[in-house]
Amino acid sequence: MTALLRRLLTPVVVLAALVGVYLLVRDQGAEAARAFARADALPLLAASVLANIAGLVLAVHAWRVLIPGDHPIRGLRAAKIYFLGQLSKYVPGRVWGVLTHIAHGREAGVPAARMTSAYVLSLALTLLTGAAVGLAAAPAALPGQWYWLCPPALLFLAGLVRPALLTRPVTALTRLARRPVDPPPDTAVRRAVLLALASWTASGLHLWLLLLAVGAPPWAGLGAAVGGFALATVVSSLAVIVPDGWGVRELTLTAALATVLPGGLAAAAAIASRLVCVLAELGSSAVVLAWSRLRHGTPGKTAPPAAEPPARTPAPTPVPTSTRVPTPTPVATPIPTPHPYALTAPIGDDTRVHP
């Protein structure tokens, strides 16, 4: 019954969200398209893609440091596992991501329990840090009421000093679910949190560059872009019935950006942000997977054995020749026989010859 309800709700939620975004962008969509098509906007669009890729690279490191114990998952192998898990988010549910991490972690010699612990803790810290960065959008949404941001900010700083304040609720929930996880050392948690904050900031900058392309005020748009993107991504991640939060993130992001842009331009920027994110994720995944295939070869195939060199035939042993020069055999010279009519007397001046 639950599976059937989820299959029915998923298209309904996605369709409703997309219709809402379309109604918002209908009036000013052409204006936003012309703004993005200007020649001076092309460098901003390219920088937006690069900023999102930088956020993904930082996210890989934030996840990797949470894998407990000594392990060989680093560099290209870590990026491959992470991006394969990222691709699974386009399918409803969270189970596909953790299954991908477990399968490839076993290939690297890391037990399933460690991979599960890293995945669950990384997901929890990503949502927590995303909510913290999302507070940056509050000043633009609620001007003059920044003081209420102090309690959550202080609580987050206390979690950096005592990482157990961040990991203990997660481990308690997993214990209740009978899927206990082992929290990593405090140093690893601090590094993961700082890397996750840097990842959210870099990822949010891509949206800020898009806002500049459509003419948003630079400094007012910075907090709305970075904080709004983090908050919208967290909200859409909680909508587990929708693949990658399609539609939910756009509506939430449009509401955050409406504090610095008209509604139509804000919705257009939210759609452009989705396109940039998909391009950066799919492009990075393709590069990492192709690089891994070229470097490590196709899994399951072994290289053919090297051909043995042909056997060398030993050269014949030369027969030593004598250094003595052979004596030639004398040849008998025939003695000429005199002709019967040959002249026997010499011919001179006084000699006469008779006929």
Structure confidence at residue 199 (pLDDT)? 94
Would 119 be classed as within a structural domain? yes
Mean pLDDT of 187-211: 92
Residue 118 lies in a domain: yes
pLDDT of 267 > 60? The answer is: yes
pLDDT of residue 305: 45
Please give the pLDDT value at position 21: 58
Distance CA 281, CA 262 (A): 28
Query: Tokens 């204006």 appear where?
Result: 31
Q: Distance (Å, rounded) from C-alpha 258 to C-alpha 266?
A: 6
For residue 261, what are the domain limits? 43-296
Per the rule left: phi > 0, alpha: psi between -120 and 50, beta: everything else, 295 is alpha
Residue 89 lies in a domain: yes
Query: What mean pLDDT is predicted for residues 167-188?
Result: 79
Query: What pLDDT, on the 0 to 100 scale, is given for residue 18?
Result: 61
207-235: pLDDT as tens digits? 999 999 888 888 888 888 999 999 988 88
Helices (H), 185-340: 186-213, 218-238, 248-257, 263-296
Question: Is 1 within the bounds of a domain?
Answer: no
Query: Dihedral, CA atoms, 67, 69, 72, 74, nearest 10 degrees?
Result: 40
Any domain includes 313: no
Kindly tell me if the per-residue pLDDT of 29 is higher than 80.
Answer: no
Q: Identify whether 148 is part of a domain.
A: yes
In a domain, 273, yes or no: yes
Q: Classify residue 10: in a domain, yes or no.
A: no
The per-residue pLDDT for 343 is 44
How many alpha carbons lie under 13 Å from residue 221 in its C-beta half-sphere? 21
The Cα 161–Cα 158 span in angstroms is: 5
- 263, pLDDT greater than 60: yes
What domain count does the chain have?
Answer: 1
Average pLDDT, the chain: 75
> So what's the pLDDT on residue 252?
86
pLDDT confidence band for 333 (50 / 70 / 90): low
Q: What is the pLDDT of residues 50-95, one digit of tens each?
A: 999 999 999 999 988 888 777 778 888 888 888 888 877 776 656 7
Residue 239 pLDDT > 60? yes
Give residue 158's Cα distance to chain centre. 33
pLDDT at 182 over 50: yes
